Structures are given as C-alpha cells and as structure tokens.
Amino acid sequence: MTHGSHTVTILGSGTMGAGIAQVAVTAGWEVELSDINEATVGAAIAGILKKLNRLVEKGRLTAAQRDDAARRLRVAAWPGSFTECEMVIEAVFEDFQTKVEALAPIVSALPSDAIIASNTSSLSIGRIGEGIGRPGCTVGMHFFNPAPLMKLVEVIAGSDTDPAITDRAVAIAESWGKIVARAADMPGFIVNHVARPYYLEAFRILEEGLAPADAIDAALCDLGGFRMGPLTLTDLIGQDINTVTTRQVFEALGRPPLLAPSPLQEKLAADGHFGRKTGRGVYAYETDAAPPAIEVEPKPLAIGAGLSAAMDDFVARATDATGSDLQRYIFGRILVAIIAQAALAYERGVAPKKDIDTALKHGTNYPKGPFEWAGQIGPQCCGRLLEALNGEVRDNRFAVPGLLKAGA
C-alpha cells in the first residue's frame, strides 16, 4: 500500500516534467525525475533549484523550505525500486508509442494501487491505459504550461479508469494548489476543444481583410477584458503547435466547420513563422525582422441590418465598454463563436458547464467562462446572433447549437 507515501516518479523531464516536478516538490512530495536523456534530468533539477532560489529572493519561500524541497528532489534510480511510488506521471513526447514504451517497463514494478497519470494533451487516456495493460489505474492529469503558474489541471478518466483512482488524482492535484476541471476522454479535453474559435475566428477576420492583427487583438482586450488578444496568443503558443492541435481536434471530431483550420495560419506555420520563438509570426518581434508574412486585401465591414441589430443587442449585453462598429463586430463574432463551441462541447459530453467555465478561466485566463457569459447575455440572444452570422457564411459554421435555440 503506497497510498500516502507522497512519492511521485516523473517520466520525461522536459518543459512539462520539470514544471510538474516543481509543483509536486513545493507541495511537500518526494519527487523522482527521469528522462531517456540523462543530461535533461540534471538540467531540469538545476532549473527547478534556480526557480526555488528566486522564490526565496522574492520572499515567497523560506530558505528552510527551499532546502527541504531540494532534499526531496532527486534523480530516479533506474531501474529502481518503485515500492514507495504512489503515483507516476508521464510527460514524455506527445506520441502514443513513446508513452507506452516509457511506462511499460515500470508498470509491473509499481504497487497495485499506484496512480498512473499521463500529461498528454491529445491522446486517449483509455488507449494509453490499455496499451500498458493497466486501464483501471490510468488517468489523465493535463497540466498547463508553465505548470507552476497555471492553476488548471484537467483530470480525465478513461472508459475503464477506476473512479477511486480519478478521485485520488483530483485530490492530489488540489493538494498541490491546483484547480481541477474533470473532462471526458475526448479530443482536446476541455481547453483545447473549446478555445479553438478564439484563434480561428480571429484568423478568419484577418483573412477576410476586415481588420489588421493589432485591431483584432485590441478589440478582444478592450471590449472583452481578455488579457491577451488571440493573435498575440498564437504567436506565444507557437503557430506550429497551435495549428497541429487545431488539425488534431478538427479531424478527431469529424471536421466540424467551426474548427476548420485557417489557411493563413497554416501558411505561417508551413513557412516557419512560428511566432515569438522564431522572431516572426503574425507579428514581427525583432527590430530588424521582416514584417509578418501576411498579405491581405483590406475590405470594409459591410453587414446586413439583421446581423447589425443582433450584434448590437449581443454586444450591449456582453460589455459596458464602448468601441467602434468594427471593434464591436470583431469582439461579438469571436465571443459568440466561443460560446457556441462551449455549447457544442457540453452537448458532446466533454464536461459539465461548471467545469468548462473553470477550465477556460484557469487554463487560458479568460475573464469569464463561456457559460457565465451566455448566462449574462442570454442564451437566445447568443442564438439570434449565431443565426444572423450563419446567414452570411457558406460553411454553416455558426449553426445554432440546441442549447442556444429559442425555447431550449
């Protein structure tokens, strides 16, 4: 029985493994780090110690707490004894075979009640559990980057996960200071499923030439209170990662039109303009860098009276902030697309409304959850705007979800 040993083994000591290790060790756990590449483990431990030192300098941790944490952080003895291991978290490359190959050799050495957690962003937890022959003990614990700062952990039960294992994973994440949203084992879980239109609709507005990138970002920040505009955020995430996630979720859900990839964004990724990390994306980040690789014919906003009235009503209910017609259109169109996507995710059984709101607020820092917004605006008002928008597009992507239909 390892329940209560408070020892976690982390497989993969890259960005996420190191971040999760820092979270666990500061919460008082014994942490054993490992990686296929030995030098990575050393670098991860050195990086965590540096961060703990910085927390001491800022007065957020005492020197004694830091020393204590440092003592509890170690390289996993390999192959070692796992008799004390209460939980394994894998954070290796996002590839099914790699994950199974990383976990398989230690599974038989683990205590029978150990939690086997995967930090996968997109793979099925049920499949990973089956792949390692321990579906009952396998659970998703999806941390966000940077793990020590981002509050959210999505906890995902596979079809055969023992509910007691899921409950323990939730309790552990909470004891580590995290906020948990429970999600079904479906593509993108909650955040990577629901947040997609924030990026995609912004790219479509850019493609249509209705506004330049900075005006699109400003509309969301100024009218919606979003901390970061959608296009700036994709440059931070990386156009490479953001487009791959879109493609995966789009294909896995049977190509719903609201999630159709943006040709402009895919071109940025294909041309290597990933954003901040390459110095150029939607925006240019180096003073001598060429301007962003976006050539779009500017086009004035021209919408019918019906759409204009539905938009005015929606935006007036959504925000007290004032803006131009174009700003209000951008904000309204993107926000209603997120609300529609949240309603569709709920209808698909991804998560309860409360968990969807929690996930978006703490996984992407939205000022409000989509259902909080829908409640404030009125579901039918959202539905009326979607219907009006749908009348002006060819792909039916603004079709009104059942939840937002009149009389729902």
Nearer to ligand NAD, 241 or 326 (CB): 241
Placement of tokens 């009348």 in the chain: 391
398 close to 386: Cβ distance less than 8 angstroms: yes
Helix intervals (H) in 178-279:
191-194, 196-207, 213-224, 230-237, 239-252, 263-270
Does the footprint of ligand NAD cover residue 365 (CB under 6 A)? no
Q: Name which position in 9, 26, 119, 278 contacts ligand NAD (CB under 6 A).
A: 119
Does the footprint of ligand NAD cover residue 62 (CB under 6 A)? no
**What amino acid is encoded at 48 in this protein?**
I
Q: Output DSSP code: residue 167.
A: H
Does the footprint of ligand NAD cover residue 14 (CB under 6 A)? yes
Size of interface with ligand NAD, in residues (CB under 6 A): 24
Q: Name which position in 9, 22, 26, 121 contacts ligand NAD (CB under 6 A).
A: 121
Annotated catalytic sites, by residue? 121, 142, 154, 192
The residues in 75-94 that bind ligand NAD, with binding defined as CB under 6 A, are 91-94
Does the footprint of ligand NAD cover residue 145 (CB under 6 A)? yes
Nearer to ligand NAD, 13 or 234 (CB): 13
Does the footprint of ligand NAD cover residue 40 (CB under 6 A)? yes
Does the footprint of ligand NAD cover residue 37 (CB under 6 A)? yes
Nearer to ligand NAD, 76 or 374 (CB): 76
Does the footprint of ligand NAD cover residue 245 (CB under 6 A)? no
Side by side, the strands of the sheet bearing 179-184 are: 73-75, 30-34, 7-11, 87-90, 115-118, 138-143, 152-157, 179-184
CA atoms within 13 A on the CB side of 218: 10
Encode burial over 386-403: b for 16+ CB neighbours within 10 A, e otherwise.
Answer: bbbbbeeeeeebbbbbeb
Two structure tokens written together for 26: 């500061």
Does the footprint of ligand NAD cover residue 98 (CB under 6 A)? yes
How far apart CA 220 and CA 187 sit, in angstroms, is: 26
Burial of 270 (0-12, 13-18, 19+ CB in 10 A): exposed
Q: Name which position in 16, 153, 249, 381 contacts ligand NAD (CB under 6 A).
A: 16
Shortest approach of ligand NAD to residue 16 CB, angstroms?
3
Q: Name which position in 5, 15, 308, 390 contacts ligand NAD (CB under 6 A).
A: 15
Nearer to ligand NAD, 104 or 316 (CB): 104
Two structure tokens written together for 171: 């309790």
Binding site for ligand NAD (CB under 6 A): 11-17, 35-37, 40, 91-94, 98, 101-102, 119-121, 143-145
